[in-house]
A and B are shown apart, each in its own frame.
Chain A
Amino acid sequence: MWWQWPHWLPLVVLVPLGAGVVTPAISRKSTKAAWVWAATAVAATVGASLPLVIRVAQEGPFSYTFGGWTPPYGIEFRFDEVSAFAFVVAFLGALAIVFSLRYAPHALDEARIPYYYALLLLNLAGLIGFSVTGDMFNLYVFMEIISLSGYALVAISGERIAEMAAFKYLVLGAVSSLFVLFGIGMLYGVTGTLNIADATQRLSVVADTVPVAVAVGSIVLGFMVKAALFPLHVWLPDAHAIAPSPVSAVLSGLVVKVGLVGMLRLYQVVYASRAVDLVTLNRLLTWLGAASIVMGAFFAMFQDDIKMMLAYSTISNVGYIVMGFGLASRYALVGAAVHIFNHALIKSALFLSAGAIIYQTGYRRLSDLRGVGRGMPLTGAALAVGAVSIVGIPPTAGFLCKWYIALGAFEAKNAAFGFALVFGALFIFVYYIRMLNAFYFQEPVRAEVTHVGDPPLSMLVPMWVLAALCLAMGLAGKVPLTFIEPVVTRMLAPTGG
């Protein structure tokens, strides 16, 4: 079958990576060319990642070895159900680039636009590489590609406040990367291999588990900074709120997930090898997850800037996922893993519609935007769908995770966290309702926002594709849940491996 062609797997990383590198050279003359080039490249990436998802659904995980050097000596790409994140990355990246057609010229100097697309493509390449690599060092390398392009994307508008946010992001990002690198180094020292599958096998017979525990702790710490788990979240709100909106969508929807996909990878190794006992760590993560849900919502309540609200809402959602990891029961893990995907869709829908509102009105504060729902009916509706979804009203995508993690909490005999999750989630309602009230039901402060009109199609289409997916992925919740389930089954299998 066409989808079994082995070289789709390297292509899906190499296409955006290569295209990203040459973007500035290609578009020296016209910024339009940069967009066409980036859009073509990202479309090709979506095309290349689709067969991979079909194949993993049909056949289960598969590998690709570069140059015929078999692991553990050669470099391995390994595609399992978690790697389907690569498809989400390519898809959301494509929508963000389409959205940027009109947004980027509005938000950035013309000279920076080619670099903008180049960085965006590199960022996507890093994300895809991160989710498909089977090698710990490559994992680190891709993570750095993501981080570095991320810092630059936050700063790209060149405004002073953007540079400040990017700097804060950079400092914490660099420290967290070091923690991850340190952990990977320790694991290499203990096992003598960098291949993840190989390391898993060797770890299961390691006698001295103290260094392994230190390595796991260090990697988890690093990843949790990347994932912006409370109280390690301080870098996130400014960076995500100040970046151009399509970038915010990518950062909040995808880049934050690096820490979480990374956690899943690490847990796959540790659970399978039974090298260290994770009970204490899991208990800590469950508590921090709960704290993250509540604190994210708490901070968001005091914001007036809509993108700031959305940024804090990411912290709450990361809390859901980490709590799911910490509960470590079957339902909780499935729910957490699926929410990695669903949150990407929902949050992108929200950031893109917020971006469209800012683009059309020039305002970004809730107090200025009163009544904008009447002026931009289609955009407002997309945002409302996203908001309903992220607060977890059934049958939208956001509900699945709440339902599954609640089931998981009871399954883990830890009912208290089920209560914490569901009631904590109510706080999230508070500020989204404030947002919808302002958009629809309050007296406008700025009269002009009530008749600005909807944005051009290049913005409307991406946000409505995402809003429709928020509904579809919820209604057909069976699809993602059954897709991701084998991963969890393998993780929790009594024999390991």
Chain B
Amino acid sequence: METADVRVLLAPAISFACSGLVFLTGRSVFWRRFWSLGAAALKFVVVLSMLPAALTGKTFVWNLIEFTPGIGITFRADALGMFFALVSSALWLITTVYAIGYMEPEHAKVRFFGFFALCVSTTVGVAFAENLLTLFVFYETLTICTYPLVIHEETPEALRAGRKYLAYTLVGGACILLGSALTYQIAGTLTLSRPGVLPAAADPRSLAVLFVTLVAGFGVKAAVMPLHGWLPSAMVAPTPVSALLHAVAVVKVGAFGVLRVVYNVFGIELLKRLGYTVPLAYLAAFTIIAGSVAAMFQDNLKRRLAYSTVSQLSYIVLGAALLTPAAASAAVAHIANQAFAKITMFFAAGAIQRTTGKTQVHELGGVGHQMPWTMAAFTVASLSFVGVPLFAGFITKWYLSVGAFEAGMWWFALVMVASSLLNAAYWLPIVYLAFFKGPEGQEVQRREAKPVLLVPTIACAAWVVVLGTTSDVPGMPFALARAAVEFVFKM
């Protein structure tokens, strides 16, 4: 059931307006904070207010403008889009609080908060895109808007990372543009509101080219190996940027795009027949393992987080590629599960850096005594990644394994086991180091992070537990993920 409702437009428009106001009046500290926090809260409320309707199967639509004849910039909040929008608007609010605390000693704060808001605006635009062209419009805008954030430090290293980021993502964008044009040529429509638009009778060669261009295009931001090179370099950005953009917005936009391609452009039935997703599943499994292995060897905490992101994102890709309902629920739910756990870790890493100046893993001995709350939150996130039950990550691993058996490819369940072990191997040593090893010959003093950094960290960690324990409670995010899956599988 579709209803016209302006709230789907408001959600991206609020943060767009916010960025304009920040650019205009942001020289004043008060107004900069006022607009950033106010818009983040307002936007979260707007998205949340659409949740009850989305859970009952209603979708809201708003046609903004006819972009080219027949194809509009149209917003549509279906279950999948709502899920993603809810995650990103909730995290924007939390990250804004954190960023206000974290960025205090930094330069160019007007630019930072202005583009920060723009990025979230475009992320929600991607979530609510009704058609592939609208999605592409916001996808590319996001690329451009994140650039000033990635190179915020303006050091030669940051500029190099920025160049690398643009090179990867713009090539990806070009692929998506071509894929969209080809989709339009084959299907005559670009809508994402159906479970698949491509006709089964289309030329299989074109379909193969289309699958490769679209998945490769979105795969760049989803950091599927070998397209992941930009992500670890982009860690030079300030921590709130890494947190929101490189654990949530930018990379999830890629993963979300893959979901859209699999579920709404090709559709489950067509892909089952074509079998293109099998190699994709292998690639994702490889990325899961290889990303984790690479993470083990990183001493810089943020780089370790980056490789862990590479590995975790491929859970979503794998879930999509298995083409079974359970795997699909895992894929959708992991958008939230990974986001909250990863952002907790980034917040903790940033808090440690700001409070103690430490950025390398080997320096972290005893930091748990210094900052017990921060490291407790970090531990919760670690356990979630390892896949311990009652934490969010377990939900993903469970459903993904079920999905692997459903698909008759049980060996992917082994990948889950291997990944759990690897995650344990690179997260738990940090926990061990922090709590059970004191820095030698020094007296440890308790020096917790500032509340403005600490509270968001703990809030996210708490939510990881909530996500891990409430997957069957109606009205919780997982119900939304189920609704999305039911639509895709026409259940």
Residues of A at under 8 Å CB distance from B?
388, 393-395, 400, 402-404, 406-407, 409-411, 415, 418-419, 422-423, 425-426, 429, 433, 437, 440-443, 475-478, 481-482, 485
A395 touches B159 (CB 8 A): no
Type the 1/0 row for B463-491, where 1 means its CB is closer than 8 Å to any CB of A. 00000000000000000000000000000
Which of A402, A422, A423, A485 is the most central at the interface, judged by chain B CB atoms within 10 Å of its CB?
A422
Given known A410-B182, A411-B185, A478-B69, contact A394–B137 (CB-CB < 8 A): yes
B68 touches A403 (CB 8 A): yes
Type the 1/0 row for B149-161, where 1 means its CB is closer than 8 Å to any CB of A. 0010010000100
Nearest-Cβ distance from residue A81 to partner chain B, whole angstroms: 15
B73 touches A415 (CB 8 A): no
The stretch of B9-17, B171-179, B347-355 that contacts the partner chain:
B171-179
Complex CA distance for A32 and B112, rounded to whole angstroms: 45
Type the 1/0 row for B428-443, where 1 means its CB is closer than 8 Å to any CB of A. 0000000000000000
Nearest-Cβ distance from residue B421 to partner chain A, whole angstroms: 41
Given known A477-B68, A481-B68, contact A426–B181 (CB-CB < 8 A): no
Q: Inside 8 A of A433's CB, which chain B residues have their CB?
A: 163, 166
Given known A394-B136, A403-B68, A429-B166, contact A419–B178 (CB-CB < 8 A): yes
Complex CA distance for A406 and B178, rounded to whole angstroms: 7
Q: Inside 8 A of A410's CB, which chain B residues have their CB?
A: 181-182, 184-185
Q: Inside 8 A of B73's CB, which chain A residues have their CB?
A: 395, 475
Complex CA distance for A426 and B173, rounded to whole angstroms: 10
Q: Pick the contact of B141 from A393, A423, A437 — CB < 8 Å?
A: A393
Q: Inside 8 A of B389's CB, which chain A residues have their CB?
A: none
B181 touches A407 (CB 8 A): yes
Complex CA distance for A383 and B334, rounded to whole angstroms: 41
B154 touches A442 (CB 8 A): yes
B144 touches A426 (CB 8 A): no
Closest to B186 in A: A410
Complex CA distance for A481 and B68, rounded to whole angstroms: 7
Q: Inside 8 A of A409's CB, which chain B residues have their CB?
A: 181
Q: Inside 8 A of B151's CB, which chain A residues have their CB?
A: 437, 441
Pick the 4 closest A-B CB pairs, nearest first.
Answer: A394-B137, A410-B185, A406-B181, A422-B174
Which of B68, B73, B151, B177 is the most central at the interface, judged by chain A CB atoms within 10 Å of its CB?
B68
A-B contact pairs, 29 of them (CB 8 A): A394-B140, A400-B68, A403-B177, A404-B68, A407-B185, A409-B181, A410-B181, A410-B182, A411-B185, A415-B209, A418-B178, A418-B181, A422-B174, A422-B178, A433-B163, A437-B151, A440-B148, A441-B154, A441-B159, A442-B154, A475-B65, A475-B67, A475-B73, A477-B67, A477-B68, A478-B65, A478-B66, A478-B67, A481-B69
Closest to A338 in B: B68
Complex CA distance for A443 and B156, rounded to whole angstroms: 10
Whether, in the assembled complex, B170 has its beta carbon less than 8 Å from a beta carbon of chain A, the answer is: yes
Complex CA distance for A447 and B171, rounded to whole angstroms: 36
A388 touches B68 (CB 8 A): no
Given known A402-B177, A426-B174, A433-B166, contact A415–B182 (CB-CB < 8 A): yes
Q: Inside 8 A of B66's CB, which chain A residues have their CB?
A: 478
Complex CA distance for A442 and B148, rounded to whole angstroms: 12
Complex CA distance for A118 and B140, rounded to whole angstroms: 44
Nearest-Cβ distance from residue A439 to partner chain B, whole angstroms: 12
Q: Inside 8 A of B163's CB, which chain A residues have their CB?
A: 433
Q: Inside 8 A of A411's CB, which chain B residues have their CB?
A: 185
Q: Inside 8 A of B69's CB, which chain A residues have their CB?
A: 478, 481-482, 485
Q: Inside 8 A of B68's CB, which chain A residues have their CB?
A: 400, 403-404, 477-478, 481
Complex CA distance for A425 and B164, rounded to whole angstroms: 17
Complex CA distance for A102 and B159, rounded to whole angstroms: 37
A403 touches B181 (CB 8 A): yes
Complex CA distance for A395 and B184, rounded to whole angstroms: 18
Q: Inside 8 A of A422's CB, which chain B residues have their CB?
A: 174, 177-178
Nearest-Cβ distance from residue B113 to partner chain A, whole angstroms: 16
